Amino acid sequence: MKLASEGHVTALLTLTRGDKGRWFGKDLGSWSPQDLAAERTREWQAATKLIGFRHARLLEWPDGGLAASPVDRVTADVVEYVRELRPDIVCTFGPEGAGSEHDDHRAASFFAVRGFHRAAIATEFAERGAAHQAARLYFNASPFSPDVPFVAMTPTHTVDIKPWICFGDAGALHRLKRLLE
């Protein structure tokens, strides 16, 4: 939201539809994966619109199984998006999953790093577009806490996003609900 409000072109690549996760307001297992994927897709579309991403793509790699997906095929999808949009900066989860250690978040970080580097090599996935070297790769990191039992990367930079935080903001929640209708 901050970058979009400052005129930057923003994009999002999401690798899974979340069909193995939770559906808040429903008991675990009381939905089919197809129903959950459809609901999560709707929520994703509304959220990307609310946040203001100019470009957004939702892929359908297996939720809860991203790490076991074919490495070159997922990397090729990431490379294609980088080459298509030609970004200056690529942001992703930290290698530990940005504080959650969620296997899909860790795998997404792995694929983003592979895609970032391979997008710059013309002979890698040549059928997926002309080579492009983004200038920077940023990780979303969580501060180290001795009380939290997972590996964390200590942030080296911080960005003040307070004006764009909408948790508890009734106006933002109302706008999101309207987008979901």
Could you tell me if 58 and 44 are in contact, meaning their C-beta atoms sit under 8 angstroms apart? yes
Class of domain 2-180: alpha beta
Question: b/e string for 20-42 if b means 16 or more Cβ within 10 A?
Answer: ebebeeeeeeebeeeebbebbbe
* Range in 25-29, 43-47, 109-113 the model is least confident about: 25-29
Could you tell me if 67 and 20 are in contact, meaning their C-beta atoms sit under 8 angstroms apart? no
Annotated domain spans of the chain: 2-180
**Amino acid letter, 13:** L
What interhelical angle do 170-180 and 33-51 show, nearest 10?
130
Higher pLDDT, 107 or 152: 107
Residue 78 token pair? 């990431």
Average per-residue pLDDT for the chain: 84
CA gap 150, 76 in Å, rounded: 30
* Range in 3-17, 49-63, 100-114, 151-165 the model is least confident about: 151-165
Could you tell me if 41 and 17 are in contact, meaning their C-beta atoms sit under 8 angstroms apart? yes
Is the pLDDT at 154 greater than 80? The verdict is no
Cα–Cα distances (Å) from 18 to 31, 57, 65, 156, 180, in that order, read 13, 14, 11, 30, 17
What Rg value do the Cα atoms of the chain yield, rounded? 17
CA gap 143, 6 in Å, rounded: 27
Would you place residue 50 in the very low, low, confident or very high pLDDT band (cuts 50, 70, 90)? confident
pLDDT in tens, 62-115: 999 999 999 999 999 999 999 999 999 999 988 877 666 789 999 999 999 999
Residue pointed to by tokens 């008991």: 27
